[in-house]
Amino acid sequence: MDADIADILGLFSDEERARVVEKAMAGHDLNVDEIELLLKSRNQDLLALGIAANYLRKKTVGDIVTYVVNRNINYTNVCILNCSFCAFSRDYRSPEAYFIPVEEIVKMAEEAWNLGATEVCIQGGLPPKMDWKFYPKVLKAIKSRVPEIHLHAFSPEEIWYGSKLSGMSYSEFIGTLKDAGLDSVPGTSAEILDDTVRKKISPGRISSSEWISIIREVHRQGIPSTATIMYGHIESDAQRAKHLVLIRELQKETHGFTEFVPLSFIPYRTKLAEVVGGPPSASEVMALYATSRLVLNKYIKNIQVSWVKEGPRFAQMLLDFGANDFGGTLINENISSMAGAAHGQFMSPVEIRRLIVEAGRIPAQRDTVYRTLKVFDGIQSSTPIPLETIKYDETKFGNYWEMVRKWRYKA
């Protein structure tokens, strides 16, 4: 055994946990019970778990921490579902219901491209009587104006909705989106891939097997996606462990996931807050990150920290618990902000680089599929990207609600 690994294993107070970590560090797959044991690590064993995850991260991807310059476009907040963890959606009759016209979405994408963004992430609710042609239409319209921008769009839930509305199979609908310019798919709407949890927090939403079938088909058509977990609400450690195993097994089959993104639940303005007292503890978050690295390292090498959910300072710390990606600039992030996250709707590239350098790592800008665009020697704040020079300008990018008010939803 590598002397470094023996030293790390010696840090654990629990022999069984040390055995599980040794198995993972030797490259073997962990089972649900073993993963659950790691997720329960606290105190000395939590720190030891972090050191093990950090060791694996360094061996696998080195000290570079990547980020992407992107913009979120949430085209509508109108939704027929009523997920108890969602503070973003509105009934179609609400005075706050909006739908951004295609031409305006194109302008937002063009503006992002001109500011240095390489990606737009397009997601929204499920409005009643939606015209399914909107989905391919908006992709085509953006590509015709800004052909090089990467279109990261439509969660499996939206793909499910579009396929139902159009009468197409998943395969036909995904093919239609691909022909229209879809480059990759956000692996959101996974929440916890366990139907007992899903039925309680989001009745009416796609099932675990539907999520897996849609992602499998997306990957089969050569379209990459991210993988996510939204945790820290009513699920157990065993259900989190099962979720990690499902993601790992799907990746072994398709190789289509580019990254794994743990998303801790922000409860403050959601209905689920009545049941869940607060967000998951720092210990739970650290254990989830470190365990994800140990479980997925061989199959999904990129683990993203969400500065929106965790805040910049805790995000820095999670880079030492297995993460190697800082996510995106996210101009106009509003899903987490609506739920009560207090870390803003935008982070400039120079600020991201500063946080990475302060954490003792090397910043690099990447594209959506993890091709390195530029490795930075320090913070380098003087690079001539327009986004570097702006502060978050509420009059330009938000207050998002002020901006979208003018596109009032018409039933």
Please name which of 240, 225, 334, 223 lies closest in space to residue 285, comparing C-alpha atoms.
240
The rounded distance, in Å, linking the Cα atoms of 94 and 79 is 11
Find the binder of ligand SF4 among 21, 79, 193, 303 (CB under 6 A): 79
Binders in 95-134 for ligand SF4, by CB under 6 A: 125-126
> Does residue 224 interact with ligand SF4 by CB under 6 A?
no
Could you tell me if residue 359 is left (phi over 0), alpha (psi between -120 and 50 degrees) or otherwise beta? alpha
Q: Confirm if 1 and 21 have CB atoms less than 8 A apart.
A: no
Q: Which is nearer to ligand SF4, 198 or 353 (CB)?
A: 198
Token pair of 392 as six digits: 């978050």
Of positions 11, 61, 81, 168, contacts ligand SF4 by CB under 6 A: 81
**Closest distance between ligand SF4 and the C-beta of residue 189, in Å?**
7
Residue 360: other Cβ atoms inside 10 A: 11
CB of 125 to ligand SF4, least distance (A): 4
Contact call for residue 230 and ligand SF4 (CB under 6 A): no
One residue of 54, 66, 70, 89 binding ligand SF4 per CB under 6 A: 89
Helix (H) or strand (E) holding 317: helix 312-318
Q: Which class for 15: exposed (0-12), middle (13-18), buried (19 or more C-beta within 10 A)?
A: exposed
What residue spans of 82-228 are helical by DSSP H?
Answer: 102-114, 134-145, 156-166, 170-180, 195-201, 208-220
CB atoms within 10 A of CB 406: 10
Asked if 157 interacts with ligand SF4 (CB under 6 A), we say: yes
Taking the least distance from each CB to ligand SF4, the nearer of 66 and 226 is 226
Q: Which one of 29-37, 78-86, 238-246, 295-303 is the stretch in contact with ligand SF4 (CB under 6 A)?
A: 78-86
Residue 256 burial (C-beta neighbours within 10 Å; 0-12, 13-18, 19+): buried
The rounded distance, in Å, linking the Cα atoms of 9 and 80 is 50
37-45, 83-91, 213-221, 286-294 -> range binding ligand SF4 (CB under 6 A): 83-91
Alpha carbon distance 304, 404 (integer Å)? 29
Least separation, in Å, of the C-beta of 161 and ligand SF4?
9
397 contacts: CB under 8 Å, gap ≥ 6: 331, 332, 345, 346, 403
> Residue 193 CB, nearest distance to ligand SF4 (Å)?
15
Q: Does 272 participate in binding ligand SF4 (rule CB under 6 A)? A: no
- C-beta of 39 vs 126, nearer to ligand SF4: 126
Cβ distance to ligand SF4 smaller for residue 165 or 369: 165
When the beta carbons of 148 and 274 are compared against ligand SF4, the nearer one is 274
For every residue of 211-258, which 3-state class applies, written as one string?
HHHHHHHHHHCCCCEEEEEEECCCCCHHHHHHHHHHHHHHHHHHCCEE
**Which of the ranges 79-87, 179-187, 259-267, 371-379 carries the binding residues for ligand SF4, by CB under 6 A?**
79-87
Q: Are 221 and 190 in contact (CB under 8 A)?
A: no
The stretch near ligand SF4 (CB under 6 A) out of 58-66, 74-82, 229-237, 378-386 is 74-82
Query: In sequence order, what are the residues at sequence separation of 6 or more whose Cβ sits closer than 8 angstroms to the Cβ of residue 58?
Result: none
Stretch that binds ligand SF4, among 77-85, 219-227, 278-286, 368-376 (CB under 6 A): 77-85
**Strand pairing of 325-328 and 362-366?**
unpaired
| Range in contact with ligand SF4 (rule: CB under 6 A) among 82-90, 104-112, 364-372, 389-397 | 82-90
Q: 340 burial class (0-12, 13-18, 19+ CB within 10 angstroms)?
A: middle
Nearer to ligand SF4, 316 or 334 (CB): 334
Closest contact distance (angstroms) between CB of 88 and ligand SF4 is 6
Q: Which of residues 166-205 bind ligand SF4 (CB under 6 A)?
A: 202
Given candidates 86, 108, 266, 303, which one binds ligand SF4 under the rule CB under 6 A? 86
Q: Which stretch binds ligand SF4 (CB under 6 A): 81-89, 162-170, 173-181, 346-354?
A: 81-89
Residue 158 as a binder of ligand SF4 (CB under 6 A): the answer is no
Which listed residue (12, 88, 326, 400) binds ligand SF4 by CB under 6 A?
A: 88
* Sites of contact with ligand SF4 (CB under 6 A): 79, 81-83, 86, 88-89, 125-126, 157, 202
